[in-house]
Amino acid sequence: MSHSTIKHTQIILPLTAGMHQMAEQFYRYHSSPEKIRQVYLNTLAVLVVDSYLEAIGIETNMEASESWQVSTQALSDVAELPILNRGSLECRPVVPSEQQCYVPMESWGGRIGFVAVQMDQNLEEATILGFLPSVDAETVPLDQWQPIEELLHHLHPRPIQLMRWLEKKIGKQVEMGWQAIEDLRFPSQPTWQFRTRGQSVDVARPVISRGKPLTLASYPPVLLILGLAKTQEDKESDIDIWVKVCVSETMDSLPAGLELQVLDPAGMAVMNAQARETASMEVNFSGTIGETFGIQLVLGEQRWLETFVL
């Protein structure tokens, strides 16, 4: 068998006595067999991902995990691993016989991403299978998980270079969770409200558009879509940018109060839109090559920010 056929980096780590002890300590807090199994495996999954991150030098704040609280263990199914100054990962255990990873909806909220961890039958070692920045179903087939390196890109955000999108250098590739629009699932193909000379007209989709599902608070994911078009064909032309937030399949309207902001390089909001029981909202503006801007979504206390360079 040739190992070169394995596309993804998969890391196999030992499950140590210390990890088992911790899992055992937690499961003794519970009585029902299903809960005991869940708490045991969730604990091991969190500890394995923590041990990988420790090895490569990423600091975690495991003690602050809500999964370490007995009442949270009893009242929900979550496996949270907080990363220092970065937000939390959800670490989901997979048993050997399963071809998919179960990610309960109650664990979707407030996570910067999800990691699938496969345990072996004897609970001697575990394989870190992959990463996803967001999920839109409770069961995710194992072949849909992205390489674990994607997680590292998410922990080191840097501006996304939009010219690479415009020049079609990126193709079908997923970059920081941004996917080709055809690969996204949403109720209907988006149309863009393109405001020109004070009139609002529907135009065809921009030359390039890519989208990314985002999980905010405890809501199902919303889709963020970014469209780009050159105003004129020449090389140095300004670029029109559309930003749209819309509901995914499982929702009728955007979370109330959700705000979409465009930030200048100093981080000041220069444009914004707010959701009011609508299925989508959008803003559009234009910029010149080399310009940097940020897109921020704000929902209550939660913020999501990504920066782009034209």
Contact between 85 and another protein by CB under 8 A: the answer reads no
**Number of other CB atoms surrounding residue 35 within 10 Å:** 15
CA dihedral sign, ordered 198, 201, 203, 209: positive
Residues 132-191 that bind another protein (CB under 8 A): 148-149, 152-153, 155-156, 158
Residues 247-266 that bind another protein (CB under 8 A): 250-251
Contact between 205 and another protein by CB under 8 A: the answer reads no
The residue among 97 and 199 lying less far from another protein, judged by its C-beta, is: 97
Number of residues that bind another protein (CB under 8 A): 72
Give the one residue of 7, 63, 85, 122 binding another protein; rule: CB under 8 A: 122
Residues 12-31 that bind another protein (CB under 8 A): 12-18, 20-21, 23-24, 27-31
Contact between 11 and another protein by CB under 8 A: the answer reads yes
Contact between 35 and another protein by CB under 8 A: the answer reads yes
CB 262 within 8 A of CB 269: yes
The stretch near another protein (CB under 8 A) out of 48-56, 159-167, 226-234, 260-268 is 48-56
Contact between 114 and another protein by CB under 8 A: the answer reads no
Residue 175 has, within 13 A of its CA and on its CB side, a CA count of 21
Each residue 279-298 as x (binds another protein by CB under 8 A) or -, in order, gives: --------------------
Question: What is the nearest approach in angstroms of another protein to the Cβ of residue 256?
Answer: 11
Long-range contacts of residues 164-170, Cβ cutoff 8 Å, at least 24 apart: 165/208, 165/210, 165/228, 166/207, 166/208, 166/228, 166/230, 166/239, 168/208
The residue among 78 and 184 lying less far from another protein, judged by its C-beta, is: 78
Contact between 275 and another protein by CB under 8 A: the answer reads no
The residue among 202 and 301 lying less far from another protein, judged by its C-beta, is: 301
**CA neighbor of 114 nearest in space, from 95, 94, 86, 135:** 135
The residue among 35 and 205 lying less far from another protein, judged by its C-beta, is: 35
Sequence-separated (6 or more) residues with CB below 8 Å from residue 118: 93, 94, 95, 96, 126, 127, 129, 142
Q: Give Cα separations from 302 to 108, 205, 209 (angstroms).
A: 14, 30, 26
The residue among 152 and 268 lying less far from another protein, judged by its C-beta, is: 152
Beta-strand pair 111-119/87-94:
parallel
| Angle at the Cα of 83 from the Cα atoms of 185 and 59, rounded to 5 degrees | 140
